Chain A
Amino acid sequence: MRRPRTITRAAALAGAVILTAAACGSSDGDGDGGNNGGNGGSNAEGEYTGGEVRANLNSPQTLIPTDTVESEGGTVVSAVYSGLVDFDIDSGEVIHLVAESIETEDNQTWDITVREGQEFHNGEAVDADAFIRAWNYGAYGDNAQRGSFFFDVIEGYDEMQEEGSDVTELSGLEKTGDLTFTVTLKSPFTTFEVALGHNAFMPMAQACLDDTDACNTEPIGNGPFKMAGPWEHDVEIPLERWEDYAGENSANVDTLTFNIYADAQTAYNDLQAGNLDVLRTTPPELRDEARNQFGDRFIEVATSQITNLAYPLYDETFADPKVRQALSMAVDRQKIIDNVLLGAFEPADSFIAPVIPGYQEGVCEYCEYDPDRANELWDEVDWPADKKLQLHFHPGAGHDEWVEAVGIEIQNTLGIEFELRNELEWPDHLNARDDEEMEGPYRSAWIMSYPSQEYYLKPLYTSNGSSADTGWTNEDFDRLVREGDAAPTLEEAQDLYAEAEQILMEEVPSIPLFYGRSSAAYNDTVENVVYNIYETNPSWTDIQVK
């Protein structure tokens, strides 16, 4: 049986039964058999085994938590830092990690108490100041932290973002004691407790703030692993177990080294040759081979990534919802996945990824391939004769084939011609989206930062959503999302967000196409490899060396 990876005393008291049950459930389904009870000795309980683990990584952009918005840096940051909250590996529910308690009455003012006796790797205390200084640093515009938008919900953020602003502290943060502070949000936001699980909200040591360049090379964290040396660019990032870790999710191995690769195939070859213990993601073209070779040491999981074709609703042609519904129903997603995408995706049946709590399976009726209904709808719409459907994407990123396949599907089903538009490179493609210059459906993808429906709805589809670029607006949708934000509890918020999603289903402002699938593989040198979908990585603290 695997020990639940993150339980604080408070959470243990509150939900010990649920969590224990969840932990038992997962160890049966891990597919890493053999180690569950059978081995006897120290391994049976997911205990410390010592030993060395090597895993692959692409070159991270940065290791400063507030600047980390991509998976590679995020992988290291979440091993080296521990945040206020984490997510249960099975249910995605919030677990308090560094937080002793997070309390609110109105979902706008949050009282946070940090657990006592927590330290950074350099001995500094993890207290209220550690969080306040980190968030102020992240929110201050001139620091150009790419994760700064996470602090957008906190009062005083806008003043700090203005160029050359002399406001360097969030007015919404107030220290109320050594270990307690109060966060005041711009408006009620029930999901804030979930959002706190993102890397941007990690604490920061004073020594790190004093020399951020050094801290980027050799982060001073408070997590179960600490740096065993500086980040050697393009070579490796060496971590080791932190003996003094005060949390309960301490590491089972002595060292965890990330070898940095530029080419995924090379990493795979290194796994085969035994130079790597864990391959975090297998390239799609090698998955069949890996499945055969690694058997139950090959883990395939659906991720939080969703690929859409978004409609430019500023273009009259797509104003009629029936046009959007028909085009969506004209595409056989499974066929494209099987024939073009090497099975590395799953057909999308909602606007929200399946790993998100509150995901409603099969809720999107227009996501289902139904050529008859598509044609019925198409007969009712006013599509200009001879107009070709323009399909936009950017070149050089492997999108050519599947976008073309979507075009062919639509052509075969509805009898309209299409044109592939990949003349704009990635930056200009994004600019054209921002500037509302697209002439047809365009590729748009999204991946969670924290497991909440809100993260898939608000930024993309509300009228003033931070990443909304389809030009679609709907007052009811905006209202429901607002109500979801302000709902008294997370459960009620989920229901309201689900209701908001229903509007998307009818209106289809974008075509949900595929959910991403990730796959890890590992050698028989390691065991107890549990995939943590909320970090899109095997759980580094659970893994053991044989």
Chain B
Amino acid sequence: MGRYIIRRLLQFIPTLAGALFLLHYLSSLAVQLNGNPARAMFGDRRPSEAMLAAVQKLYNLDDPCLEQVGNPCFGQFVNRVTSLAQGDLGTNFRGRPVTEIIVDSLPLSARLAVIALIVQILIGITAGVFAGLRNKGVIDYAVKISTVVIIAFPVFVLGKVIQTTVNVPVTNALREASWAPDWLGTVFSISYQANSPWLSLLVPGVVLGALGLATTARLTRTSLIENLHADYVRTATAKGMPRRRVIGVHALRNSLIPVVTDLGLSVGVLLSGAVVTEAIFNIPGVGFQLINAIRVGESPVIVSLVTFFVLIYLVVNLLVDLLYAVLDPRIRYE
């Protein structure tokens, strides 16, 4: 087990290095193809050449390789990796260190992802189990139909609709209502409130969780139905084991393997879904930072954040693989 983990961790290094280079190459290419973002900072008001040169220098946009399309800018890559190794991730165009951006934004996105995952697990798996137990029953159809509806809604539509049709009227109603406790208002706040870091993320978290909820429910359902017909379940039932234990311990535990795989993969979906959800609910998390950085072409932010995403993805997938062994005793890692 320990050896396996070490081997997997060592594999992170080439993966991260590859991702880093690819991101560096793409962001250089973006400058080469779209033009130097330093010029765009001035807009219609043309800067003098000296001014432009000074700003390009300030943001490391003065390397001549940025004018040659396809040039991978190895010199800049070496600089980037050297300063990364020293813990310096650069700054955005507002002069804000990227490390500070990550430190400020990551906890927000992490909380949002945790809420989303809890929603996905609690509601998704429960709905899946009930649907699976009563195959072709009323609950089964209800789950099937509602999941199709949720899947059909893009997250930005869901977010905006909930914000305007639920949060705004509820907040207004609560202001009039003297019985309502303050925390209830926070739950339905339109944008993120820094002084209530969990409550004000509840609605956005549910919206984000709804993204993967449907898949989780359906996977649980199918997998459970399949396992309920398996030999070991029949054996357990024949032994006279209570139904609750047969389903909860034997059938469900095995059925969760594909679900856990999907949950691991959905961390990626959550990160990308967060880009949209965070913008709608004004949550300055990593997705919010990433979309802003892409809009103005802040390559230090883009490269660092996405590399960070890759790292998270790698860690989560390692955890998923380790969970397999917990869920299925037949799986062993040497």
Q: Given A262-B279, A269-B164, A466 and B44 touching (CB < 8 A)?
A: no
Which residue from A59, A162, A445 sits with its C-beta under 8 Å from B292?
Answer: A59
* Residues from chain A with Cβ under 8 Å of B58 in the complex: 144
Determine if A45 is an interface residue (Cβ-Cβ < 8 Å). Answer: no
Residue on B with the closest CB to A62? Answer: B94
Determine if B142 is an interface residue (Cβ-Cβ < 8 Å). Answer: no
Known: A144-B58, A213-B95, A430-B35. 16 other contacts (CB 8 A): A61-B41, A141-B50, A143-B54, A146-B47, A149-B45, A233-B284, A234-B105, A262-B291, A270-B190, A273-B172, A275-B190, A429-B35, A430-B42, A434-B39, A467-B44, A469-B46
A427 to B279, CA, bound (A): 25
Judging by beta carbons under 8 Å apart, are B160 and A265 in contact? yes
Q: Is the interface of A mostly helix, strand, loop or mixed?
A: mixed
* Residues from chain A with Cβ under 8 Å of B291 in the complex: 262
Determine if B191 is an interface residue (Cβ-Cβ < 8 Å). Answer: yes
* Residues from chain B with Cβ under 8 Å of A213 in the complex: 95
Determine if B268 is an interface residue (Cβ-Cβ < 8 Å). Answer: no
Q: Given A269-B164, A275-B171, A149 and B51 touching (CB < 8 A)?
A: yes
**Smallest CB separation, A427 vs chain B (Å):** 3
Which residue from A61, A235, A424 sits with its C-beta under 8 Å from B35?
Answer: A424
A444 to B281, CA, bound (A): 33
Judging by beta carbons under 8 Å apart, are A232 and B194 in contact? yes
* Residues from chain A with Cβ under 8 Å of B164 in the complex: 269
Which residue from A146, A263, A275, A434 sits with its C-beta under 8 Å from B41?
Answer: A146
**Smallest CB separation, A139 vs chain B (Å):** 11
Determine if A431 is an interface residue (Cβ-Cβ < 8 Å). Answer: yes
* Residues from chain A with Cβ under 8 Å of B39 in the complex: 427, 430-431, 434
Which residue from A60, A144, A148, A444 sits with its C-beta under 8 Å from B44?
Answer: A444
Judging by beta carbons under 8 Å apart, are A141 and B51 in contact? yes
Judging by beta carbons under 8 Å apart, are B191 and A62 in contact? no
* Residues from chain A with Cβ under 8 Å of B297 in the complex: 427
Q: Which residues of A contact B (CB under 8 A)?
A: 59-62, 69, 141-144, 146, 148-149, 161-163, 213, 216, 232-236, 259-263, 265-267, 269-270, 272-275, 424-431, 433-434, 444-446, 459, 466-467, 469
Which residue from B190, B282, B284 sits with its C-beta under 8 Å from A273?
Answer: B190
Judging by beta carbons under 8 Å apart, are B50 and A261 in contact? no
* Residues from chain B with Cβ under 8 Å of A429 in the complex: 35
Determine if B5 is an interface residue (Cβ-Cβ < 8 Å). Answer: no
Judging by beta carbons under 8 Å apart, are B288 and A269 in contact? no
**Smallest CB separation, A422 vs chain B (Å):** 13
21 contacts between A and B (CB under 8 A): A60-B94, A61-B93, A62-B95, A146-B41, A146-B42, A149-B47, A233-B284, A234-B284, A260-B282, A263-B280, A269-B167, A269-B190, A270-B191, A273-B167, A273-B190, A425-B35, A430-B40, A430-B44, A459-B45, A466-B46, A467-B45
Residue on A with the closest CB to B101? Answer: A233
Determine if B57 is an interface residue (Cβ-Cβ < 8 Å). Answer: yes
The residue in B105, B168, B190, B288 that gathers the most chain A C-beta atoms within 10 A of its C-beta is B190
Determine if B106 is an interface residue (Cβ-Cβ < 8 Å). Answer: no
Which residue from A161, A266, A273, A425 sits with its C-beta under 8 Å from B50?
Answer: A161
Determine if B104 is an interface residue (Cβ-Cβ < 8 Å). Answer: yes
Judging by beta carbons under 8 Å apart, are A428 and B34 in contact? yes
* Residues from chain B with Cβ under 8 Å of A261 in the complex: 191, 282
Q: Given A161-B50, A424-B35, A144 and B191 touching (CB < 8 A)?
A: no
Residue on B with the closest CB to A425? Answer: B34
Encoded as 1 (CB less than 8 Å from any A CB) or 0, chain B from 86 to 106 comes to 000000011110001100110
* Residues from chain A with Cβ under 8 Å of B50 in the complex: 141, 161-163
Determine if B223 is an interface residue (Cβ-Cβ < 8 Å). Answer: no
Q: List the 6 closest A-B pairs by CB distance, nearest first.
A: A427-B35, A428-B35, A234-B284, A425-B34, A273-B171, A144-B54
Judging by beta carbons under 8 Å apart, are B279 and A263 in contact? yes
Judging by beta carbons under 8 Å apart, are B171 and A426 in contact? no
Which residue from A234, A266, A446 sits with its C-beta under 8 Å from B280?
Answer: A266
Residue on B with the closest CB to A60? Answer: B94
Q: Given A146-B55, A233-B104, A466 and B163 touching (CB < 8 A)?
A: no
**Smallest CB separation, A382 vs chain B (Å):** 31
A141 to B194, CA, bound (A): 39
* Residues from chain B with Cβ under 8 Å of A146 in the complex: 41-42, 47, 51, 55
Judging by beta carbons under 8 Å apart, are B282 and A262 in contact? yes
Residue on A with the closest CB to B169? Answer: A273
* Residues from chain A with Cβ under 8 Å of B51 in the complex: 141, 144, 146, 148-149, 161
A260 to B282, CA, bound (A): 8
Judging by beta carbons under 8 Å apart, are B54 and A427 in contact? no
Judging by beta carbons under 8 Å apart, are B191 and A266 in contact? yes
A375 to B10, CA, bound (A): 74
Judging by beta carbons under 8 Å apart, are A259 and B191 in contact? yes
Determine if B245 is an interface residue (Cβ-Cβ < 8 Å). Answer: no
- Among B190-218, those with CB < 8 Å from A are 190-191, 194
Residue on A with the closest CB to B291? Answer: A262
A275 to B191, CA, bound (A): 9
Which residue from B55, B171, B282 sits with its C-beta under 8 Å from A263?
Answer: B282
Q: Given A425-B35, A427-B35, A144 and B55 touching (CB < 8 A)?
A: yes
Determine if B136 is an interface residue (Cβ-Cβ < 8 Å). Answer: no
Judging by beta carbons under 8 Å apart, are A269 and B34 in contact? no
Determine if B37 is an interface residue (Cβ-Cβ < 8 Å). Answer: yes
* Residues from chain B with Cβ under 8 Å of A444 in the complex: 44
Judging by beta carbons under 8 Å apart, are B94 and A446 in contact? no
Which residue from B47, B55, B189, B284 sits with its C-beta under 8 Å from A235?
Answer: B284
A426 to B160, CA, bound (A): 29
A274 to B289, CA, bound (A): 26
* Residues from chain A with Cβ under 8 Å of B43 in the complex: 430
Q: Given A263-B280, A273-B168, A141 and B40 touching (CB < 8 A)?
A: no
Q: Given A146-B41, A266-B191, A430-B39, A274 and B175 touching (CB < 8 A)?
A: yes
The residue in A62, A161, A163, A427 that gathers the most chain B C-beta atoms within 10 A of its C-beta is A427
A261 to B283, CA, bound (A): 9
Which residue from B45, B191, B282 sits with its C-beta under 8 Å from A69?
Answer: B45
Judging by beta carbons under 8 Å apart, are B35 and A262 in contact? no
Which residue from A269, A273, A466 sits with its C-beta under 8 Å from B48?
Answer: A466
Residue on A with the closest CB to B37? Answer: A427
**Smallest CB separation, B55 vs chain A (Å):** 5
